[in-house]
């Protein structure tokens, strides 16, 4: 992954509307939701929803598919995973034991966390 793509993705996730939006689509992966269904989960105008969906689409974080007169949106999970890998690349380079400690200390279940030390673990 290139820096340009990664910054575009993080910028897309820097709006509360878009972050909520994306997390809903992550939850409803892989089936996705049509725009109207998404609107029911959020309180934004249709104009604004459309604006933010377009931004996520442009960043590559979601995909769109025509479905009759509806438009179905899906979270692009592979892109999400690649971005996480990019962010955590070479974490604690040369200090794998520190990485283990960090993961163990996290408030979140270690199962959902990346093995951020790419070195032989």
Point out which residues bind DNA (CB under 7 A): 11, 14-18, 34-36, 39, 44-55, 64, 66, 68-71
With respect to a copy of itself, which residue has the nearer C-beta, 70 or 77?
77
With respect to DNA, which residue has the nearer C-beta, 29 or 39?
39
* Contact between 13 and 22 (Cβ < 8 Å): yes
For residue 50, the minimal CB distance to DNA (Å) is 3
For residue 97, the minimal CB distance to a copy of itself (Å) is 10
What's the sign of the alpha-carbon dihedral 55, 63, 80, 3? negative
CA distances from 49 to 2, 27, 55, 112 (A): 28, 18, 10, 29
* Contact between 12 and 55 (Cβ < 8 Å): yes
Residue from 48, 54, 67, 84 touching a copy of itself (CB under 8 A): that is 84
What's the sign of the alpha-carbon dihedral 78, 5, 60, 18? positive
Q: Which residues bind a copy of itself (CB under 8 A)?
A: 3-4, 6-7, 10-11, 13-16, 19-20, 22-23, 26-30, 77-78, 80-82, 84-93, 95, 98-99, 102-103, 105-109, 111-116, 118, 121
């Amino acid at each position: 992954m290139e820096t340009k793509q990664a910054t575009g993705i993080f910028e897309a996730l820097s709006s509360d509307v878009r972050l909520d939006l994306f997390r809903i689509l992550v939850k409803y992966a892989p089936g996705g939701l049509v725009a109207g269904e998404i609107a029911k989960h959020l309180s934004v105008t249709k104009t604004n929803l459309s604006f933010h969906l377009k931004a996520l689409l442009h960043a590559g974080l979601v995909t769109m598919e025509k479905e009759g007169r509806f438009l179905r949106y899906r979270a692009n999970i592979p892109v999400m995973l690649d971005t996480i890998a990019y962010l955590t690349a070479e974490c604690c380079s040369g200090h794998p034991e520190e990485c283990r400690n960090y993961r163990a200390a996290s408030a979140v279940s270690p199962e959902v966390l990346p093995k951020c030390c790419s070195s032989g673990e």
